[in-house]
Amino acid sequence: MNYTITEKILMSHTPEKKEIHPGEFIWAKIDLALANDITAPLAIEEFKKAGAKKVFDKNKIALVADHFTPAKDSRSANQAKMLFDFAKEHSIKNCFDVGRMGVEHALLPELGLVAPGDLVVGADSHTCTYGALGVFSTGMGSTDIAASWITGRVWLRAPQTIKFVYKGKLTKWASGKDLILHTIGDIGVDGALYKAMEFTGPVIDKLDMDSRLAMCNMAIEAGGKSGIIAPDGISKLKSDKNAEYSEIKEYDISKMEPQVACPHLPSNVKPVSQLKNIKVDQVIIGSCTNGRISDLRVAAKVLKGKKVTSSARTVIIPATQNIMKQAIKEGLVDIFVKSGCAVSTPSCGPCLGGHCGILADGETAIATTNRNFLGRMGSPKSFVYLSNPAVAAASAIKGRIAHPEEI
C-alpha cells in the first residue's frame, strides 16, 4: 500500500499492525508526553486518582512551567510547585522552571527532545508545532496525558491528510506565518477538522526551520489534528508518490503580501495593506509561534534606529533562555530597549491573557501569537490582530497596523 508520512509514523508506533487506514482507531506507543503549569496539575490529579505508582518512562515525559510563570500570583505559584513536586517524586529530568525554561514548543525542539519520526502528545493544543521536524505531534486533554504517563500509549483515530502545495516565491516581508494565515483564511477554522495538514511544494523546500515551526504550530487553528513537513535530506520518511489524500490544495503565493488575522478568528484574514487605518494600543512579539531568534532579528531590522510610538506599548518576549542569550549577544535586545520596547523573560504570558500584557476594555493589540478569540488577551471588549514580526514591529512604530515598507 501507499502511505502518507503521517500514516507511516502512526504505523511504526503500532508494531502489531501490518497496515493502517484513515478513520481507524489505534493504540500507539509514544516517544514523549508533555504538559505545562496549567495542564500538568490536572493530569497529576488524574494520575493519582487512577492509583498509579510510577510513570511508564521518566525520560519520555517533559514538564514545562511557561504559561503563568514567572508566577503571577499565589495560585499560579502553587500550580507550578505541584508540577515540580511530581517531577521530583518520579525522577523526571526534563522539568523546566524559570531561568532554564522557555515556551514549551520552542524549548523542546531546541533541546533535541523531539526528532523526525517521533510520536509526541501534549496537554496543549499547539503541540502540533513539532510536525515541522517530521514528527506526528498532537494536543489532547490532561486525562489522556495522565493515561499516557501510565501506559506509554495513546488511543488515536488515524486522520485523513490534506496536502497543501505552495508554489512561487515569497515576497520580501512574508514568512511562514503569512503562509499559514493565508491558508487558514482560505479553508476556515474547521477546514482541516481532525485531519493532518501536510505542507509541501517548492516554497516549503526553501523555508527556514523557524517558519516551518510557525506553520505547523497553527495547524490547530484550522481544526487540524496535526501539521507536518517531511524532513530534509536523504530520508525515507516522506509520503509515497501515490499516497491517498482527502484533498489537495495548491497556492501560488508570488504576489502574497503579509497577512493579518482580524478579530475574532484566525481565519478572518486580510492583506496588511487593507488595514492601515487600524490603530493599536499594544504590540506583542513572541510566543511559541514567533518568538524564535529569526523572528527577533526581523523585528530588530525594522526597529533599528527607530522609536516605537508612545501610544503603542510594545512587549518583546524571547521564547527561550538560549534565544534571549543569543539576542543579547547579537545586540538585538539593545535595539529593542533603545527603541522603547519592554523585553521580558521567556513566558507564554499575554498570549492566553495570563500576564505580562493584558488588554483593557476597548484596547487593540497586534501580536505575533496564534489566537485572537474574543477575550483571548484580556478584556472581552478588546481586539487582537495576528501578524508576522515585521508587521508587528512596523505597527509599533506607526501606532497603527503598518506594512514594513512604510518604515
Which residues are documented as binding site for [4Fe-4S] cluster? 288, 348, 351
Task: Report yes or no: 169 and 203 within 8 Å, Cβ to Cβ.
Answer: yes
Spatial distance between the Cα atoms of 274 and 55, rounded to a whole number of angstroms = 52
**286's torsion region: left (phi>0), alpha (psi -120 to 50) or beta?**
left
C-alpha cell of 46? 488524574
Torsion over CA: 285, 140, 79, 109 (sign)? negative
Spatial distance between the Cα atoms of 327 and 329, rounded to a whole number of angstroms = 5
* CA-atom Rg of the chain in angstroms: 20
Spatial distance between the Cα atoms of 358 and 352, rounded to a whole number of angstroms = 9
Give backbone dihedrals phi and psi of 49, rounded to 5 degrees, phi first: -60, -35
Spatial distance between the Cα atoms of 53 and 116, rounded to a whole number of angstroms = 31
> Residue with C-alpha cell 494600543?
281
Measured at the CA of 336, the angle between CA 332 and CA 339, to 5 degrees, comes to: 135
Other CB atoms within 10 Å distance of the CB of residue 310: 8
Distance of CA 141 to the CA centre of its chain: 17
Give backbone dihedrals phi and psi of 226, rounded to 5 degrees, phi first: -160, 165
DSSP count for the chain of H helices, then E strands: 13, 18
384: nearest Cα among 372, 392, 394, 375 = 372
Determine the residue type at 358. I
> Residue with C-alpha cell 492601515?
276
Other CB atoms within 10 Å distance of the CB of residue 89: 11
C-alpha cell of 110? 531546541
Spatial distance between the Cα atoms of 390 and 395, rounded to a whole number of angstroms = 9
State the binding site: 288, 348, 351
Task: Report yes or no: 103 and 285 within 8 Å, Cβ to Cβ.
Answer: no
Determine the residue type at 348. C
